[in-house]
Amino acid sequence: MSEPRIIVALDYDSLPQALGLVDRIDPARCRLKVGKQLFTRSGPAAVTTLVERGFEVFLDLKFHDIPNTVANACRAATDLGVWMVNIHAQGGRRMMEAAREAVGDEGPRLIAVTVLTSLGTEDLVELGMVGSPGDVVLRLAAVAEAAGMDGVVCSPREIAELRRQRAAGFLLITPGIRPAAAGLGDQRRVMTPAEAVAAGSSFLVIGRPITAAPDPMAALAAIEGELE
């Protein structure tokens, strides 16, 4: 079996709710993402429970603070045994370098968030940022790679250009994935799972198309089928 590319976003209000789905999934099929919603309610115990069950966990807390604080938070994430952790590229080069040093080479994969996939050009203009989301992503990804990040979170639309610009092993983590039949929700820059993998995505972050489906296991299986 090839390495699973799907990361299921466990955007639930409690660990028991998340386990309702997790209990039915073999860890060989996907990774799991714990984000702000579940972590703020259930804390590190949510992460350690999933790690103990054999899952590789992406701790998606998007750290963004002064370098010292982010470095210490990344150390804490490393101690939890997570597989991947992320920080905001917009925290700047020194913040990313401090995180790199804290995590070391043996720790979790360290990923930089570029531009949230819910943001469009008009949102960036309002925030005073120059260029389209795509332009800003490319700029931030260049700084992220120079600062020693293992990869970036980006929208599927930016994969092709990032694959041209960045080193071969640079990881591209893509949310904003919608199976052909699913709705857009608040995601603006989307692609289907197969399109994103064909374009060069390393890992697909998929939340509501699975977690909010009437039958989440069927939804996961359908996406796996789409990827084969």
Near ligand C5P by CB under 6 A: residue from 148, 185, 200, 216: 185
Name the burial class of residue 28, with classes exposed (0-12), middle (13-18) and buried (19+) by CB atoms within 10 angstroms of its CB: exposed
Q: Is 187 in the site for ligand C5P (CB under 6 A)?
A: yes
Near ligand C5P by CB under 6 A: residue from 70, 96, 191, 205: 205
- Least CB distance from residue 105 to ligand C5P, whole Å? 25
Burial call 173-212: b when 16+ CB within 10 Å, e when fewer: bbbbbbbeebeeeebbbbbbbbbbbebebbbbbbbbbbbe
Instruction: Quote the DSSP letter at residue 4.
Output: P
CB atoms within 10 A of CB 130: 9
Total residues binding ligand C5P (CB under 6 A): 15
Give whichever of 68 and 179 is closer to ligand C5P, judged by the CB atom: 179
Near ligand C5P by CB under 6 A: residue from 208, 224, 226, 227: 208
On whether the CB atoms of residues 12 and 215 are closer than 8 A, the answer is no
Site residues for ligand C5P, window 6-25 (CB under 6 A)? 9, 11
Q: Does 62 qualify as catalytic in the annotation?
A: yes
Site residues for ligand C5P, window 100-159 (CB under 6 A)? 113, 116-117, 153
* Tokens at 224, concatenated: 């796996």
Q: Is 35 in the site for ligand C5P (CB under 6 A)?
A: yes
Q: Which positions are catalytic?
A: 62
